Structure 1
Amino acid sequence: MIIWSGWGMLSALIAAAGLFGSVLLDPALAHSGIPTPTGVVLVWVAAAGFNWWLGTRLNNRPGRELLDPRIGQIVVLRGRHTLSWIPMQYYSVMMVLLGALAVLGAMHAGSSGHPV
């Protein structure tokens, strides 16, 4: 079950786009002579950077200040953008780790004599 608030679901969509982009870009780069893990790293770092930028931009917006007449104090209402209760910018760390795991998998497959 996926639970999100605000625009937090965009983190999953950005990760899916990163996966799709790495699947498309990797063979094209390998065909042009660039090593296979390079495309995966570039795509995942770009996806993580965009996700971090978007998440911090959305979650650091100033809140709306309201005066509570019953207690006479100011209450700040702020929107949150989360995926499974985790702020969306923190999913960027997971995206970088996925890119690193993909590179390790490609290096392991390449060193074992199997085609990448």
Structure 2
Amino acid sequence: MIVWKGFGILNIVVPGILFVIVGSLVSALGLDSIDSRLPMAFVFIVSGVIIWYLGKALNADSDKVLVDMETGQRYRMGTQHSLFFIPMHYWGPAGLAIGFILIVASIFI
């Protein structure tokens, strides 16, 4: 079961779209003979960068707190965009790490 809040589902949608685009380009250009981990690494690295900046932009307003002057009660603005209760922008470095691990694996294994 996938649990997300706000636009956190984009952590799955962005790499999915990039997988389709890169897979189509690899097939169309006749590059089927290359190691399949390299296009996947490219997808994870690019989607990691996209998700980092997109998550930072979407979560920029979620930390603002408004204070009611009469009652002193605090209200948190916006929603925290997250996937599996982890803020969206933290998934970007995870994608980068997976991409670099795939590159290293394709070189040494």
TM-score (norm 1): 0.67
- Larger RCO, structures 1/2 (Cα 8 Å, 6+ apart): 2
Following superposition, the deviation at residue 21 of structure 1 comes to: 3.9
Contact 1:21 1:43 in 2 (8 A): no
Q: Residue 72 of structure 2 aligns with which residue?
A: 72
Return closer, same or farther for 1:53/1:29 CA change in 2, 3 Å cut-off: farther
- Is the alpha carbon distance of 1:44 and 1:107 closer, same or farther for their aligned partners in structure 2, counting shifts above 3 Å? same
Q: What runs of 5+ residues in structure 2 fail to find an aligned partner?
A: none
Greater shift, 92-101 or 17-26, is seen at 17-26
- CA shift at 1:41, angstroms? 4.5
2:84 matches 1:84: yes
What CA distance in whole angstroms lies between the structure 1 residues aligned with 2:94 and 2:74? 37
**Shift in Å, 1:58:** 0.5
SS in 1 for 2:80: coil
| CA displacement, residues 59-89 of structure 1 (integer Å, 9 cap, x when unaligned) | 01264736286x4334233311000000111
| Number of residue equivalences | 105
Larger Rg belongs to: 1
* Percent of aligned positions that are identical: 21
